[in-house]
Amino acid sequence: MNMKIALNIQNLKCGGCAATISKNLASLEGIQEINISVEESSVSFIYANDSQLAVVRDKLKQLGYPENGETNTLGAKAKSFVSCAIGKMS
């Protein structure tokens, strides 16, 4: 059964960030209907099981966009700047 979730994330600042997140999540198996709201700092998507949700959360953290409530380290902020720049270039 497919479920939809919206995650509030940190460091999401612009369309470049959104493009990077969207491209990376679209490459994950079973993740569909990805929507990113820069205004709300949220990403929503449809997933089929909890392991897919865990993979998305890990991917967001790797890219520098941890969920709200998680520690937003200097490393995460730096990664988000890189992800943002890559998103702007592609």
Could you read off the pLDDT tens digit of each residue along the chain, which spans 90 residues?
899 999 999 999 999 999 999 999 999 999 999 999 999 999 999 999 999 999 999 999 999 999 999 898 888 998 998 888 888 887
pTM summary value: 0.93
pLDDT at position 83 is 87
Residues 6 or more apart whose Cβ sits within 8 Å of residue 2: 32, 46, 47, 48
At 82 the pLDDT is 87
Backbone angles phi, psi at 47, to 5 degrees: -140, 165
d(CA 52, CA 3): 11
- Tell me the CATH number for domain 3-89: 3.30.70.100
